[in-house]
Structure 1
Amino acid sequence: MEVIVSIGEKISECLAGPILRRARYLFCFKQFVRDVEKAKQELEGKLADMNKRKEEADRKTEEIMPSVKKWLGDVNAIFGDVQKLQQELEERGNKCFNVPLRYSLAKQMEDKAKQMMELKNNSSFEPFSQLIQLPGITYFSSEQFVDFNSRKSAYNRLLEAIKDGKNKMVGLYGMGGSGKTTLAKQVGKKVNELKLFEKVVIVVVSKSPNVHNIQQEIAEQISLKFEETSRLTRAQRLSLGLKNKKILIILDDVWSKLSFEDVGIPLNEGCCVLLTTRLRDVCLDMDCESIIELPILTEEDAWALFNMHANPTTISKNEFDSIGRKIVDECKGLPIAIVTVGSTLKRRGVRVWESTLQKLQRPLPLDVKDDFETLYAILQVSYDNLRSLLAQSLFLLCSMFPEDHEIHIEDLIRFGKGTLKLDDNIYTMEDARKEILITIEKLLDSSLLMHTDKQACVKMHDLVRDVALWVAKKQGQAILVNRDVVSRMLVKNETLKETKAISLWNLENNFKLSNQLYCPTLEILLLHSAGGFFEDLGGIESLKVLAALTFSFQWIHHIWTPIQWSMPQSIVSSLMNLHALCVRGIALGDISFLCQLKILEILDLRSSEFDELPAAIVHMKKLKLLDVFACRIKKSPLEVIEKCEQLDELYFWDGKSVITENFSLSRLKRYAICDSTFASLDPLLMDPPFLKYFDDCIEALRCLCIQGFKVSTLNSSMKDLIFRANCLWLKNCRWDHNDINSEIKHLGVSHCPDKRFIVDNLGTNFPQARQVFSHLITLRLTQMDSLEQVFQDSSIRCSLPKLQELHVAVCPKLTTILTHATVTSIPELRKLQIYSCENVKWLFSYSLTSHCPSLVELRIWDCLELESLIGEEVALGDRLLHDMQDNPCGNEAERAFLVVTAKSFKQLQNHEALMTLFLRLKHVEIKRSGRRMKVMFEVQVRGTLEGEESIEEPLKLNLCSLYLDDLAELEYIWKGPPQSVSLYRLEDVSLSKCPKSKNIFTFAIVTSLPELRTLEVVRCKEWEGIFCEESLKILSSSSNVCFPKLQNISISGSNKVKRLFTYSLAFHCPLLEGITIRDCSELESLVEEASHEDILLGFSN
């Protein structure tokens, strides 16, 4: 008996643990509910922190690491599981007598709570993100490349030399301006397209090579960061970064032998160098295995190029042929000469043409080397043809900037105002600005300046720059631009006696300009340095412009550390004739002595640091422009600025000063004034809003960013600043649309809780209402809690003929974005972004779709109630667009983002104007929106569905990229009859967290994807494969390659996919390079076992 009891006790002990654990699931049920909720809240807090870090990474153009992406995906997935679990709990969990159910729910809650705590505890990621790879050589446009017959041989020889693999050094030489850079870029783009190298890198070397800059440019293009500072150690680091990598390095504009050891370029089995130079000897000195000459243009090609640029409209055809042929002959086949001369003759009369020919035929100057005699003479003709003394002076001013430098137009205006010979009747900055801008256009039209990718910058071809410096010297206006000059060379140097301008860029940190310069005619001194400038300076009494810069003009503000330099006060006596002083990015301390400069017109202290703006500046009556934008000022300067009634232009933002309602400066013609609160307006912005648009307003920028005002009660001066602004942001303000200029270009409104409409109909007459926002380019509406509509009702209908970008964020009461009832037309709208508008159901009314033909980019985030892109059913006979509320085909209605339907396919094609939105969109991104949306794009053709009509020509969509993320009900991306739609431009597709989506490519579009390059699928639980069964049948029977450019496929977190490809499908992806698969537990094989028919098809193909 004792034995039995002992055994029983032992059994009880063994069973007690499991029984108690299971009993907890029944008797501690509410505790499990609380544990889940607590774990969820803690994880939500951690997720919010991670999302902030992600937003910061996005702002820095960085991409988060794969481990972070996986963590975010796991968090979103488990939140979805917990939501379903909590929903089941609400529906069934209260049935206390259902013991198995409560047991099961409790056990699931325990598991989810543990998983959430694990995710919270494992949320430390270092590194968190990395820089997104730059586009490299593909960044450059091919517009300047003309495929002349005389160029084909050099192009093909270059390409073959690089493809050969044995040539590690390839040289391309030819005269300056012959098109070497353009040809090298075009070859680089072709090499990149053919995937001959991992990367193509291009670096401009120039006449005075800066090894530090060359190292930096190469490193940035291969995503290498230097920790080292010395040239030698950076060279070693760069060499390691390039070692064993297959990289083509294009060294452009090389003038002398460059030591690869000093730079850090290893000529290993992977690297190949293509250099361009004017001198064949450089190719020989650098041991190029293949040397290719770029000849001048043939007579036929030269004449064709001249025709492209001269484009005569003011002379007869006979005169054009007679004189033009002779001019082209004098240009000796040099492209830059032909383009330059041809551009200067455009729209000129026959006398100018004859005069130009005579000048080209004159004897050449004796001081020009034989190699460049023709070109210098030709370019001087273009200079002479400018006729305007202002244009010639501005042309010479542009040569003060370094080779290949992108010259900001604002720098030309500020330096030019102080030194150029403007008309006597030009008194204001506004007049001077207009005159200089007109002159810049003349130089651009004459091809003496070039456009850049930046709208507010211009560039001077290095050969044109050489000619400008030669002309300046010949005319007794010598310009010294040697960046390698030693300071002692500038002291009492007789050769500088006639120098009009000195421009020294990229000076070493230890550079110091010594005490006395012997430059009695010096008018401009431009110093660019990362260190000091000068301790004292004399002998410059004629100086009109002094610039001590750490950066060229820019609006975008970056975190910076001003260099420490105390501008010597003793220099003032030498600056009494100074008209413009520009000191940027420098810690100055006390600047009160500057008030002694009585005739100073421009004071530019941008991004500098100083104690205070001296009160005596009020008495500088000649001062027209004050720039203290992005300055660190210990004492707020607003009180002093308000008293500077003499100013024409003001640029102010210091990140801490608050604009008051009494602020008053009535004379301002151009201004950018930003309240400190805008530093944190948007977590993605470190700068005040709209900075990226400022460069579009070079002539007439009037920007005001204010907060906390009732506009109707402001003083007249402040009202005037608001009304005249063409770039305006109102935060937490009370205002009416009548307070805003009808010609405003950029408008932002945020945190105005009582604002129901941007424009309402109270006190508005109909004719004036049509002019509201007629010049608007950008509209941003942010955190407007009461906003119901942009416009109130049909009594206010306005056209938005220039609106290009519309951004709406966090407007919870907004249900629609734009309707034809209030907006008649938006022909230029290109970008539409909607964020966190929880009640928006559709974006456009049906009747407005044909009036927005330019929309190409659409981004929608966190709009859960979104039903479709287009709403407002309109009875127009055979409707082409509708929101699927009824069912024209007799099937079960499905929610579709955008659907096109008609009785016949022919009818669709005949009404293309009404399908503008469907056909023109290029970039679509939808995230966490449309919770009931099942279909993205659908084409319904009733006749075709019934077999009554065949499709001859599919609808061609311009879609280039499609990103769909976290769409819970989405089943289909494309739906419609076979071959009804052609996605002939689609390159990138990403599908993420769409649990009901089974395939990407349905039979409707599977054979119309010739440009598809990347395909990504992430955490789509029901996803079964890339293609549906019908698609696979079509592909297996098709003899045409359907995916000729597909390169990368990435699949992760999709557990139902069993195989990616069939045997026959491999034929359709000839360029496929990489397949990435993660967390696909049911995957059996990449390629399905081939059938006999598949093998036969493969042989036949």
Structure 2
Amino acid sequence: MSSVAGGLVGILVSDFSKEASYLCRFKTYVEDFEEKKSSLDAKRIIVLQAVEEAKMRNETQVSAEVLKWLRQTDYYISQEDPIPMKTCLFGWCPNFCWNYRQGKKVAKWTREITDLIKKGDFSRVAHGNELPGIEFYSQNFIDFESRESEFQKLVNALEDVNFSMIGLYGMGGTGKTTLAKQVGILVKNSGAFGRVIFVVVPSPPDIKKIQLNIASQLPLYLEEGKEEVYSRILWTRIASYDKRVLIILDGMWEELDLTDIGIPHGSNHMNCCVLITTRNSRVCDVMGSQRTIGLQTLTTDQDALNLFVEHVGITKGDLMFNEYMNRAREIVRECGGLPIAIVTIATTFKSWPLREWKIALEALQRCEPLHNVHEGMTQVYDALRSSYDRLEGSAKHVFLLCSLFPQGYEIPLHLLCKLSVGLGLFEEVHNCLAARSKAIRVKDILKSSSLLFEPKEACVMMHRMVREMALWVSNKDVQVIMDSRTSAKSHIRFLFWSRDDLPSQFDGTKLEILVLWIKGKVKTEDSYSIFEEMARLRVLVLHCASDHKYVTVSLKLLHSLKNIRTLILDAWRLGDISVLKVLRGLEIIELTNCLIDELPDEITELKNLRSLGLRKCKIERNNPFEVIERCIQLEELDFVLNCNSEDWKEDGEIENIDEVVPDVSPPTLKRYSIACPHLKYFYHDDNGMLNCFNTENLKSLISNAMFKNIVRTAEVLELGEVRGVGWKNLVPDIIPLENGGMNDLTKLCLYSLVDMECLVDTSNYDLDSKVEVFSHLVQLFLDGVDVRELYRGPMISGFLERLEILKLRNCKNLRNIFSDRNLKLPQLKVLHLINCSAFQSSIFQSSVAQSLEQLQELIISDFEELERIITYESLGEGIVEN
């Protein structure tokens, strides 16, 4: 009982002391209050300054916590300072009651102000309004019929949760950005993504700017001065979303490290998907795009017209609407389906009278700058030029070289290579094969940059607007003249000139390449002087476009071109070409559809000659291979027969060609195409990289040494109708097994070879050594070949293991392709057996079934046990009978 009483007394004493302090220490409480109030006022000024600074950063949304704090500080700061002491009885006695109450209130205020001061340490006082993401770009899009496929591919790829990186590429101005925005809005509205963020990637890339842009759309505050943790903060925020996040990185020119930015990707993409748009498809590759979609120009006239009408603003109610629409169709046709050009011209033409449209259209058709839309077209050219500006080294020169050809011209890759070599664009390589490889790499760079496209295999072409941009950029160096009214500029470097005759005179002192298309007869005597001042000319192309067959031109007019390296002549009657011996720097000669007396011995004196082309030329006398095989430095030969060997027979049949042609072969020959104008069974790949040989009418023209060298190294080979040679097989009768077994072959066709018994015979060989035969062969055709089997003797490893197409026709002695159980055809997809009457049906037995597992097409007809045709369209879809 005493302890309880003692505790109660202690509490009473403590409370009394506290209450008494409000009276006894009144002055101290007042001084503390004034001090804390001053500190609070200073703190409030700091916070207000921070709010103003945030507003300068466009962070106008002051946090609720800060606003509450400021209201509380306003209350205390607005309070008047307390009177130090109050007295009563005319000042003789303190006013104990008032002083007690006032002291207690001041003490309470002081505690609350102290607490407010502590709470005033804000890490962030405001934030920006949440910037709209993809919703900001919502507008009325035009649905293009020709874009439906790409649009749907992009939507499907984005909705596939297995894809975290998708690429969209195309040339400048095709509408990649517009399509990406449109698809982004669609997948956001469909619920496939909870948030879609659109970021324009600066050039050059600015990581901090990209990070701040992404953060503003999340929204997320990134504190200034702490850039080193931005990426982790962004990664954490993006990964925290329950629904998928789509980040569109628009206009990328080069690879970006997404980890440095803070974007989840790869195996740790955390429900984040990235869509990149770029002009260069290689960016998609290096970024690891799992699906890459190419966007081309508008492919239908109606789509282009709809876009033009939308921006030019004409309606059906307008006066002369039909006339405007007719003119509009012609205008958009000149834009080549390029959206940026269509929109720019439409915007410029808006409100123009119809007569001005006609004038502008005529200028467009002449490919001339429009005086009234020069600024607008400059915008188009600038948009395209940015791709050109990023090219490096020889790629820029090859690009400008392509612009030299007329609009719509399909430039053969082999021609582009020869012009580039002549100009010295590939000086770092030292042989023709390397130069061709370099040309293909440059072509791929230009193609991936969307500056060139391939209308067909081994040809490139420029979009009209890209070509005009190129000529606009290079107007001081490159000129294309398509009419007789225009004169050649002085000091031009690259010149294409279409005219009726050779020019009599012009300033060509700076010319490095001259392409002349002559449409009429040539007055050679008046034109000798035009080449005299062309000391810098390295490439000359003379093309006869006349309706007259074999217009005569004398090569004597070229005698002054001492620095020329590439000479290409097309469709001329040249007669004696021995004058070429004075052009000691010649590295490339190509004669196409020309008429010449003969291939003269003087050609062997051109010690720099590395490439010789005789394509469909008529040679009046003598076998050209007598000279060709003595050009011991020759690296490539392109010989396409125009007529049969009778043309070189002066004294009847050539019984033994080895008595006419020395048994030699150019030791440096690496690339060749020696064939008739059209191969019987294979497409002639004109990209200059396939070694192609066809023996029809040619075997009697070349020596045994050259023949065997060609057959041994060929990639595409057709042998047929060669009688009296006694070949029973290809290996070893033609090529010894020790020499590599024709292992470069990818396509082989044998026809009308009645003596041949098999392809390869290893009966007399010890196969301990590792030798491969036909291990790269993909297509094999036999027609009218009396082989009994494909292979005889011990099986060599790798034989026909890559074969995909096997077509056998009229092989009447062939009984079975699987006579050796070790023969496997694991890649075989197509098998034709036509009129092979001795063939056995054991092909269907289970013992060989494993060789037919990949078979997609089987056609069998006209042999003993099965007379109908059966086609396996797909093993999984059953049999279709014809």
Match of residue 449 from structure 2: 446
Query: Is the radius of gyration larger for structure 1 or structure 2?
Result: 2
Matched, 1:458 2:457: no
| Alignment-mate amino acid for residue 441 of structure 1 | D
Matched, 1:656 2:656: no
Match of residue 504 from structure 2: 515
Deviation at residue 342 of structure 1 after TM alignment = 4.5
Pick the aligned partner of 1:497 from 490, 510, 518.
Answer: 490
Matched, 1:470 2:472: yes
Deviation at residue 670 of structure 1 after TM alignment = 0.8
| Alignment-mate amino acid for residue 465 of structure 1 | R
Pick the aligned partner of 2:435 from 401, 424, 432.
Answer: 432
The answer to whether the Cα contact below 8 Å between 1:834 and 1:860 also exists between their aligned partners in 2 is yes
The answer to whether the Cα contact below 8 Å between 1:501 and 1:522 also exists between their aligned partners in 2 is yes
- Of 522-531 and 404-413, deviating more is 522-531
Match of residue 396 from structure 1: 400
The answer to whether the Cα contact below 8 Å between 1:150 and 1:295 also exists between their aligned partners in 2 is no
- Map 1:220-369 → 2, pairs under 5 A: 297=178, 300-301=181-182, 328=251, 341-343=279-281, 345-346=283-284, 369=374
1:499 & 1:847 partners in 2: Cα distance? Answer: 72
| Alignment-mate amino acid for residue 418 of structure 2 | R
1:523 & 1:580 partners in 2: Cα distance? Answer: 11
- Map 1:572-587 → 2, pairs under 5 A: 572-587=558-573
For residues 52-94 of structure 1, what are the alpha-carbon distances to aligned partners after superposition, in whole Å with 9 as ceiling and x for unaligned? Answer: xxxxxxxxxxxxxxxxxxxxxxxxxxxxxxxxxxxxxxxxxxx
Per the alignment, in what secondary structure is the counterpart of residue 781 of structure 1? strand
- Map 1:1006-1021 → 2, pairs under 5 A: none
Match of residue 549 from structure 1: 543
For residues 394-417 of structure 1, what are the alpha-carbon distances to aligned partners after superposition, in whole Å with 9 as ceiling and x for unaligned? Answer: 111111122233221111111111
Per the alignment, in what secondary structure is the counterpart of residue 621 of structure 1? coil
Per the alignment, in what secondary structure is the counterpart of residue 720 of structure 1? helix
Matched, 1:372 2:377: yes
| Alignment-mate amino acid for residue 469 of structure 2 | V
The answer to whether the Cα contact below 8 Å between 2:633 and 2:666 also exists between their aligned partners in 1 is no
2:709 & 2:466 partners in 1: Cα distance? Answer: 45
2:434 & 2:175 partners in 1: Cα distance? Answer: 46
1:540 & 1:601 partners in 2: Cα distance? Answer: 18
The answer to whether the Cα contact below 8 Å between 1:393 and 1:420 also exists between their aligned partners in 2 is no
1:449 & 1:429 partners in 2: Cα distance? Answer: 23
For residues 892-920 of structure 1, what are the alpha-carbon distances to aligned partners after superposition, in whole Å with 9 as ceiling and x for unaligned? Answer: xxxx866xxxxxxxxxxxxxxxxxx8451
Match of residue 253 from structure 1: none
| Alignment-mate amino acid for residue 587 of structure 1 | R
Matched, 1:624 2:614: no
Deviation at residue 826 of structure 1 after TM alignment = 4.1
What is the TM-score with the length of structure 1 in the denominator? Answer: 0.44
Deviation at residue 580 of structure 1 after TM alignment = 0.9
For residues 1009-1037 of structure 1, what are the alpha-carbon distances to aligned partners after superposition, in whole Å with 9 as ceiling and x for unaligned? Answer: xxxxxxxxxxxxxxxxxxxxxxxxxxxxx
Question: Structure 2 unaligned runs (5+)?
Answer: 1-136, 152-172, 187-196, 215-246, 254-275, 289-368, 646-653, 736-740
Match of residue 695 from structure 2: 705
Per the alignment, in what secondary structure is the counterpart of residue 824 of structure 2? strand
Matched, 1:722 2:711: yes
- Map 1:549-698 → 2, pairs under 5 A: 549=543, 563-635=549-621, 636-654=623-641, 655-657=643-645, 660-661=657-658, 662-674=663-675, 687-689=678-680, 692-695=683-686, 698=688
Match of residue 267 from structure 1: none
The answer to whether the Cα contact below 8 Å between 2:199 and 2:248 also exists between their aligned partners in 1 is no
Match of residue 840 from structure 1: 839
For residues 102-146 of structure 1, what are the alpha-carbon distances to aligned partners after superposition, in whole Å with 9 as ceiling and x for unaligned? Answer: xxxxxxxxxxxxxxxxxxxxxxxxxxxxxxxxxxxxxxxxxxxxx
Deviation at residue 836 of structure 1 after TM alignment = 3.2
2:593 & 2:138 partners in 1: Cα distance? Answer: 51
Deviation at residue 809 of structure 1 after TM alignment = 2.6
RMSD, aligned α-carbons:
4.7
2:853 & 2:624 partners in 1: Cα distance? Answer: 48
Higher relative contact order (CA 8 A, sep 6+): 2
For residues 753-810 of structure 1, what are the alpha-carbon distances to aligned partners after superposition, in whole Å with 9 as ceiling and x for unaligned? Answer: 332211223134557688321111222223223x111123674564534334333232
Deviation at residue 811 of structure 1 after TM alignment = 1.6
Decide whether aligned partners of structure 1 residues 825 and 593 sit closer, same or farther in structure 2, where only a CA change above 3 A counts: same
What is the TM-score with the length of structure 2 in the denominator? Answer: 0.54
1:818 & 1:598 partners in 2: Cα distance? Answer: 57
2:548 & 2:664 partners in 1: Cα distance? Answer: 29
Deviation at residue 151 of structure 1 after TM alignment = 9.9
For residues 1078-1097 of structure 1, what are the alpha-carbon distances to aligned partners after superposition, in whole Å with 9 as ceiling and x for unaligned? Answer: xxxxxxxxxxxxxxxxxxxx
Match of residue 67 from structure 1: none
Matched, 1:384 2:389: yes
2:431 & 2:602 partners in 1: Cα distance? Answer: 22
Deviation at residue 596 of structure 1 after TM alignment = 2.0
1:703 & 1:309 partners in 2: Cα distance? Answer: 53
- Of 724-733 and 367-376, deviating more is 367-376
| Alignment-mate amino acid for residue 575 of structure 2 | G
Per the alignment, in what secondary structure is the counterpart of residue 434 of structure 1? helix
Match of residue 760 from structure 1: 761
1:607 & 1:308 partners in 2: Cα distance? Answer: 56
Deviation at residue 744 of structure 1 after TM alignment = 1.2
Decide whether aligned partners of structure 1 residues 765 and 727 sit closer, same or farther in structure 2, where only a CA change above 3 A counts: farther
The answer to whether the Cα contact below 8 Å between 1:673 and 1:704 also exists between their aligned partners in 2 is yes
2:681 & 2:845 partners in 1: Cα distance? Answer: 29
Deviation at residue 550 of structure 1 after TM alignment = 5.3
Decide whether aligned partners of structure 1 residues 391 and 833 sit closer, same or farther in structure 2, where only a CA change above 3 A counts: same
Pick the aligned partner of 2:514 from 507, 525, 545.
Answer: 525
- Map 1:571-970 → 2, pairs under 5 A: 571-635=557-621, 636-654=623-641, 655-657=643-645, 660-661=657-658, 662-674=663-675, 687-689=678-680, 692-695=683-686, 698-703=688-693, 705=695, 718-731=707-720, 732=722, 733=725, 734=727, 735-738=729-732, 739=735, 740-766=741-767, 771-785=772-786, 787-792=787-792, 795-796=795-796, 798-817=798-817, 821-827=821-827, 829-842=828-841, 846-852=846-852, 855-860=855-860, 863-867=862-866, 918=872, 920=874, 956-957=877-878, 964=882
The answer to whether the Cα contact below 8 Å between 1:344 and 1:447 also exists between their aligned partners in 2 is no
2:612 & 2:283 partners in 1: Cα distance? Answer: 40
The answer to whether the Cα contact below 8 Å between 2:691 and 2:713 also exists between their aligned partners in 1 is no
| Alignment-mate amino acid for residue 525 of structure 1 | L
The answer to whether the Cα contact below 8 Å between 1:580 and 1:600 also exists between their aligned partners in 2 is yes
1:664 & 1:516 partners in 2: Cα distance? Answer: 44
1:715 & 1:694 partners in 2: Cα distance? Answer: 25
Number of residue pairs matched?
544
Per the alignment, in what secondary structure is the counterpart of residue 508 of structure 2? coil
For residues 530-583 of structure 1, what are the alpha-carbon distances to aligned partners after superposition, in whole Å with 9 as ceiling and x for unaligned? Answer: 5446632334332211112358xxxxxxxx998222223442234222111111
| Alignment-mate amino acid for residue 629 of structure 1 | R
Decide whether aligned partners of structure 1 residues 820 and 630 sit closer, same or farther in structure 2, where only a CA change above 3 A counts: same
Deviation at residue 392 of structure 1 after TM alignment = 0.8
Percent of pairs identical after alignment?
A: 25
Decide whether aligned partners of structure 1 residues 446 and 321 sit closer, same or farther in structure 2, where only a CA change above 3 A counts: farther
Question: Structure 1 unaligned runs (5+)?
Answer: 1-147, 157-181, 188-277, 279-292, 331-337, 351-364, 552-559, 680-685, 869-895, 899-916, 922-954, 965-1101
For residues 295-332 of structure 1, what are the alpha-carbon distances to aligned partners after superposition, in whole Å with 9 as ceiling and x for unaligned? Answer: 9826613879999999xxx99999699699685499xx
Decide whether aligned partners of structure 1 residues 638 and 897 sit closer, same or farther in structure 2, where only a CA change above 3 A counts: closer
The answer to whether the Cα contact below 8 Å between 2:856 and 2:873 also exists between their aligned partners in 1 is no
Decide whether aligned partners of structure 1 residues 588 and 790 sit closer, same or farther in structure 2, where only a CA change above 3 A counts: same
The answer to whether the Cα contact below 8 Å between 1:704 and 1:721 also exists between their aligned partners in 2 is no
The answer to whether the Cα contact below 8 Å between 2:536 and 2:563 also exists between their aligned partners in 1 is yes
